[in-house]
Structure 1
């Protein structure tokens, strides 16, 4: 037999007892121990009566019937008999037998069930849980407390889903709220996922604060009690903290359910807050949130399906939009029309879409029953151009919906659906994502769409789509080229050829984004595309096609670096030849790629340095190099030349090449390359590069002039580089001979001298 003596007394307060679940730790642990020790569990069954047996809620013989246990559940776990009947039978048996039953009384919680089983053969084991602290492991916690559940931790970092969480759960905010509800110096238990123990110290000025860390002997993985109860509980840890949270969570659910059923105005901000509150609870409860989904989803879908409230009127000042004073209405003027959009509706819609994504992500296969309603709601919103947040949420939800369907089918929870359903859903979502990707104006959302596509179908399907686009475009171009020879070829057909170039440009941008996102892991897919891209390098192709092909290689070389070296034998000859292309756009792409190869190719580039210098020299010395149509190619060629000076100094005649590069500076057309080149020069001067400074510092006047032009120019260097240049000039003022400084100063224009004096004196 196994006897468990329980004394709950009057210390469990009403608020806590009303919130506790039907099974509490002591009977559950006792039943598990009895089963493990092969004993019958003896307990006072009066505490198992449901609360309805005592509607007055009055104590009877010290027992509070609101604090009850599920006897049927305990009886399933172990053999259970009623205590008073057992004691009467035991006394009667004891009087009639000379041989007494061996009884082992266990008063310390530190004696584990394993120790009892190994050392004790007594018929009756009497374990007591009513001893005073600290021996009673559950009694070590003062149960006469008020419970507060504070959700923080990582959630405080998610400003989109919990925008006000950080301030609302600060100690000051909590103290203000608690003063209205909890008398001073009560025991206050804070159930929270906040990782910093001292975060709630301010509450200690008014309350006796208890945190989970104060009771490590009840839940720490090093605790003997924790490990024993876990083993007895089928390997599932006893969730100590959960029993306190439920006291608060039940009240929260009741409030939200009440609000959900009330009628609110269309633009009532409470709606948005309530949607977020449900989502936060879902994050906390996980799969336990599923019973509430039938309440949450209908209004959530209704919010996600809201139509944008748009008003279009004449831009005439006499025809103001009626609601122009409404803070929730934004207006823009396009031509002779004034467009008003009610932002509160869009914000509610965006919040709802984010919440749908949250539920799908958190509930996984549990979200399956709602997919048929959610997918048709969110897929069209991939092209909802009124609001970026709506599109972002719709994009994020796509892989989550597919994952939910896949898991539900795999786990037999798909309500009779099979793999065909998951494929149909994929066939619905993926083409919609691809189509939206081609039209998406925001680059950040483009990247999100590519990530979503990768999650939905892996990258291979995108590559297949690109193959089809390139093949179909090439076929149409051939047909139109033939048509161009016909007499009836018109201007409209010529415009269609331009549209083909635009589509190829989009392909280039998609591939560029893929390479930047996945880097070297994308190269196996690039290998598949090479045979489709290589023909675009041909001299028979348009300049635009050649430029696009070179830009794709530039992206691969820059993002994949050493991993892309295997392509150099194939593509570098094209790059070198294209440096002298008739089209300045092609030349720019080619010399930029040459600079990338110079930087990342390493020793493999050494045999090509001579030819690269020759090609770059031709671009730099082009008769009209500095004219507007050629200046971008010129600037990129100067940048590439600087990289040869930096990374392959040993393979060049530095005394000739470095001064030639210096004479090309500063560059002012390509502002991105300008920042790179001028930072490179600054670094060379800082380390006193002899080839840059020249014999007897003869190039210093030129360097001072370059610095002056950069500092007086607009956006030619980063703030950090400009600051370094100023410091270098101040050092030169102090260290250079007066004659050298005067020579450098005289090479400047008068306005540059004045500007530089102002900069150096500030």
Structure 2
């Protein structure tokens, strides 16, 4: 049971919730109410995040304005009962950050990121039918999420887009001020684009904008995403904003690798097949299974990576020794070779993927699974974003 449920209409009573929250929060501070009462309103605890330099200097932002998209990425909406992978959530988060840049507002960042169950080593908590749904929701969320600042460096992000976390003391000061400002304090917006929010004084002069984003996904608000010239933040922005712990470990691994090439081999979640009405097996990526096997990888990359080079491999392939045939031509390296370095900082596969992306980015030649840009190198020519056309898989060199 998720904390939020799908809402077809904008939340028109958010200001009332804010007011109730402050009454309850004040009561918590003087000990009149149990701490769990405030959790009903889904506001994180203010004492779980150490204020950064930028957050301590809130006085410098006293004339600034803020924008809040919610306490969870892609929620409220269809992803409240589940969550997408890291890349999907980063697209949504980048969209929100872009809007904050466009509006010259400070972005209130969710303090936790949901981890898709297949990427969570701890799994999802199970419970009986007799368990309290709200308590279980809290437990499931805690078990299937991780702290946002364990993934990203907030100070580093703030050099481009000022951010605060929604469990910081600064956020509570912002909420308090928004209540004191009355009608100029909070505006609840839905289905209003960023240009209107910027140009219309009804919104541009408001201290705090509380946005209810598209229920499909936050990134749907960036409708011009296909127009590359309109994108303020590149796809590489968030990967390079990894937390200092992850960056430090990645730097140590890169120092040991010295001069190396790298490949990212995405198989498991992309190699999906199904049978059509005639019983014929079909796939959305007909060449992917073939192109990501060792013998075909070798054929593909030898023109870019001369034999004898060190080759770092990052992959979601779980078959042991799947890439071992490549060792005949390359010195293979995996993140698992550096367990003494990574184990202290890796709690889930999101942390691992963040770390591996930094290592991949440091390679002399980096070859992706799918080509996302005309100048990139890739293992397959299949498009990453398929047109939903299920085709017969190809395993020969004929096609």
Q: Structure 1-normalised TM-score?
A: 0.20
Higher strand share: 2
Higher RCO structure (Cα 8 Å, ≥6 apart):
2
TM-score by length of 2: 0.34
Structure number, greater radius of gyration: 1
- The structure with the greater share of residues assigned to helix is 1
